Copies of this chain bind each other. A is one copy, B any other.
Amino acid sequence: MTRLALTLAAALLGTTALAEPTATGDLGLVIERATGSVLLVDQSDRAALARIGGLGDLSHASLVYSPDQRFAYVFGRDGGLTKVDIVTREIAGRVVQAGNAIGGAISDDGELVAVSNYEPGGVRVFDADTLELVADIPTGGKTIGLVDAPGRRFVFTVWDSGESWIADFSGPGMRTTRIPGMGKNPYDALITANGRTYITGLFGQDGLTALDLWAETPEPIRVLPGYGRGQQEMPVYKMPHLEGWAHTGAEFVLPAVGHHQVLWVDAATLTETGRTETYGQPVFAMARPDGRHVWVNFAHPLNDTIQVIDSVSKQVIHQFKPGPAVLHMEFTPRGHEVWISVRDAGKVMVYDTQTFEKLREIEADSPSGIFFTARAHRTGL
């Protein structure tokens, strides 16, 4: 009877999308950058379910999920903010909120979506339900490293002024706190999974800068001041993504800028504990959820390769070539498999993380970022 009714509903809908009740815990979206579409995928079935188009320019796009894992908020490079319903598999809303945007975040209660803009700069905050503008926060510059923090807060940093801002929406109005002196030209930032430590990478000087968001008055903390591009280092092909910082438990793994290395940093003291030589300039260094292995991909022209590093020995234990232009990796939430975007092969590849065996290839159109719905339940993703 249940199946009959659902089949009838599906027939009326002209789709098989609702032929079975939907649970959203093991779904995900893959950004198809060339076509402005996202591919809905199912982790358990290792399959693509549907393609949803009309999202605009998705080069360098990212997305966040609503707490119920029904809606994705996709941040396009063109300033488009698109709300995608992954249950009905259609666009539920779209605003073009700026000329050039660079990522976003969703508040811990799921009510506010914030977008970080290059042009005209600043941050805009929207009602997650209606996409109506809630707050416009001009910052006087390109705004990067936007993350959510516990307590309906967003943290972000201004490239031009080297200033970090905390926008707090926990009360009736918005309160902002500005922290100057983060360093010259911060280009990206991350927040640790517990929401305590915010770390910016610097383009204009060596080292990184951290903030302890648990402090009464957060002050810039210099991290690895002796590390950086250096004076005579090789050119930087691609700035590594800080969001990809791996946390293995006691240590972070940092993709080095302009070096063929990852750096190991003590999570408590933020001091360097080691370096591992790698195949190329690392882009993402991502810990398997248990922290035992770190998977690293590399910048062009060495972007056909992945290395896996053991976090105890700090040695490379496995290396392989999924194919041309490995852009992103996403682990299943408990880490038994990893999905890898191989852009120029037009495929997403699924690997067993224990045996390194390839389990499946899924067709995708210039795939880049892969985002599983489990991100809805994590801070800073």
On chain B, the residues within 8 Å of A87 by CB distance are 21-23
A379 and B290 contact, CB distance less than 8 A: yes
Q: Known contacts A334-B108, A379-B289; is A151 also within 8 Å of B5 by CB?
A: no
CB pair A170–B24 under 8 Å, yes or no, is no
Query: Is chain A's interface secondary structure helix, strand, loop, or mixed overall?
Result: loop
CA distance A232 to B6 in the complex (A): 64
- Assess the B334–A150 pair: CB atoms within 8 A: yes
Q: Annotate A368-381 by CB proximity to B: 1 below 8 A, 0 otherwise.
A: 00000110111100
Residues in B with CB closer than 8 Å to A317 are none
Assess whether A179 is interfacial by the CB under 8 Å rule. no
- In whole angstroms, what is the CA distance A333 to B214 when docked? 19
Pair A12/B5 contact, Cβ less than 8 Å: yes
Given A43-B67, A290-B195, A336-B151, is A1 in contact with B26 using a C-beta cutoff of 8 Å? no
Q: Copies per complex? A: 2
CB neighbours (8 Å) of A12 from chain B are: 1, 4-5, 8
Contact A23-B69, Cβ < 8 Å, known A13-B1, A376-B333: yes
Number of interface residues, chain A, beta carbon within 8 A: 61
Closest chain B CB from A317 CB (angstroms)? 13
Q: Complex Cα distance A25/B10, Å?
A: 23
Closest to A6 in B: B9
A41-86 with Cβ < 8 A to chain B: 43-44, 65-70, 86
Q: Are B25 and A373 in contact (CB under 8 A)?
A: yes
Most buried by B among A2, A249, A334: A334
What are 8 A-B residue pairs whose CB atoms fall within 8 Å in the complex? A2-B88, A8-B12, A21-B88, A23-B66, A43-B67, A150-B334, A196-B291, A333-B377
State the A residues within 8 Å of B (CB): 1-2, 4-6, 8-10, 12-13, 18, 21-27, 43-44, 65-70, 86-88, 108-110, 150-152, 170, 194-196, 214, 249-250, 268, 289-292, 312, 332-337, 354, 373-374, 376-379
